[in-house]
A and B are shown apart, each in its own frame.
Chain A
Amino acid sequence: MSLSRQDVAKVASLARLALSADDLDRMTGELQKIVGLVSQLAEVDTSSVAPLAHPLDAENVFRADEPQPSLTTAEALQSAPRHDGECFLVPAVLGESGAA
Chain B
Amino acid sequence: MTTPTATAAPYTTIIGLEVHVQLQTRTKLFCGCSTRFGGPPNTQVCPTCLGLPGSLPVMNRHAFDLAVRAALALDCTIAPFTKWDRKNYFYPDLPKGYQISQYDLPFSSNGQLEVVDPKGAFARNVGIIRVHLEEDAGKSMHDEAAGTADTRIDLNRAGTPLCEIVTQPDLRSPQEARAWLNELKLLLVYLGVSDCNMQEGSLRVDANVNLHIPLAGEGGAEGRVAKTPIVEIKNMNSFRSVERALAYEAARQWEEWQATKAELGTTPKQTRGWDDPAGVTRAQRHKEESSDYRYFPDPDLVPVTVTAAEVAAARAAMGDPPTVLRKALEAKWKISAYDADVLVNQGRDLVAWFEELATLVGEGKVASNWMQQDVLRTLNERGGTIGEFPVTPAAVADIIGRVQKGDFDTSRGREIFAAVLASGRPVADVVAGMGIAAVSDDDLVALCRELLAANPKVVADVRGGKEQAAAGLIGQAKKKNPNVNPAKVRQICLDLIKGM
**Residues in B whose Cβ lies below 8 Å from that of A45:** none
- Give bound CA distance, A99 to B58, whole Å: 23
Of B134-142, B175-183, B418-426, the one with at least 4 CB within 8 A of chain A: B134-142
Query: A14-B292, A60-B305, A68-B33 are contacts. A96–B285 as well, Cβ < 8 Å?
Result: yes
Query: A13-B289, A87-B153, A94-B142 are contacts. A63–B59 as well, Cβ < 8 Å?
Result: yes
Contact of B50 among A68, A76, A94 (CB under 8 A): A76
**Residues in B whose Cβ lies below 8 Å from that of A62:** 58-61, 64
Q: Does A97 contact B (CB under 8 A)?
A: yes
Q: Mark A1-38, 1 if CB is under 8 A from B, else 0.
A: 00000000010011010000000000000000000000
Q: Does A58 contact B (CB under 8 A)?
A: yes
Check A76–B42 contact: CB distance below 8 A.
Answer: yes
**Residues in A whose Cβ lies below 8 Å from that of B152:** 84, 86-89
- Give bound CA distance, A77 to B43, whole Å: 10
Main secondary structure of the interface of B (DSSP, over half): loop
Q: Does B40 contact A (CB under 8 A)?
A: yes
Check B92–A90 contact: CB distance below 8 A.
Answer: yes
Check A70–B45 contact: CB distance below 8 A.
Answer: yes
Q: Does B150 contact A (CB under 8 A)?
A: yes
- Give bound CA distance, A6 to B287, whole Å: 17
B336 to nearest A CB, angstroms? 41
A-B contact count (CB 8 A): 143
- Give bound CA distance, A72 to B41, whole Å: 11
**Residues in A whose Cβ lies below 8 Å from that of B45:** 70-71, 76
Q: Mark A79-100, 1 if CB is under 8 A from B, else 0.
A: 0001010111111111111111
**Residues in A whose Cβ lies below 8 Å from that of B99:** 99
Main secondary structure of the interface of A (DSSP, over half): loop
Check A73–B61 contact: CB distance below 8 A.
Answer: no
Residue of A nearest to B85 (CB): A53
Q: Mark B119-154, 1 if CB is under 8 A from A, else 0.
A: 000000000000000000100111000001111111
Number of B residues, CB within 8 Å of A: 63
**Residues in A whose Cβ lies below 8 Å from that of B407:** none
Q: Does A43 contact B (CB under 8 A)?
A: no
Check A92–B142 contact: CB distance below 8 A.
Answer: yes
Q: For the side of the interface on A, what is the size category?
A: 35 or more
Query: A67-B27, A67-B34, A92-B142 are contacts. A73–B87 as well, Cβ < 8 Å?
Result: no
- Give bound CA distance, A99 to B289, whole Å: 11
Q: Does B89 contact A (CB under 8 A)?
A: yes
Check A91–B32 contact: CB distance below 8 A.
Answer: no
Check A92–B148 contact: CB distance below 8 A.
Answer: yes
- Give bound CA distance, A84 to B92, whole Å: 16
- Give bound CA distance, A68 to B31, whole Å: 8
Residues of chain A in range 37-67 having any CB-CB distance to chain B below 8 Å: 53-54, 56, 58-67
**Residues in A whose Cβ lies below 8 Å from that of B140:** 93
Residue of B nearest to A79 (CB): B52
Residues of chain B at the chain A interface (Cβ within 8 Å): 18, 25-27, 31-34, 40-47, 50, 58-64, 87, 89-94, 99, 137, 140-142, 148-155, 206, 234, 271, 284-285, 287, 289-290, 292-294, 296-297, 299, 301-305
Residues of chain A at the chain B interface (Cβ within 8 Å): 10, 13-14, 16, 53-54, 56, 58-73, 76-77, 82, 84, 86-100
Q: Given A53-B296, A65-B62, 14 other A-B contacts at CB below 8 A?
A: A14-B294, A54-B302, A61-B301, A62-B61, A63-B32, A63-B58, A63-B61, A65-B61, A73-B40, A76-B42, A86-B40, A86-B41, A87-B154, A93-B92
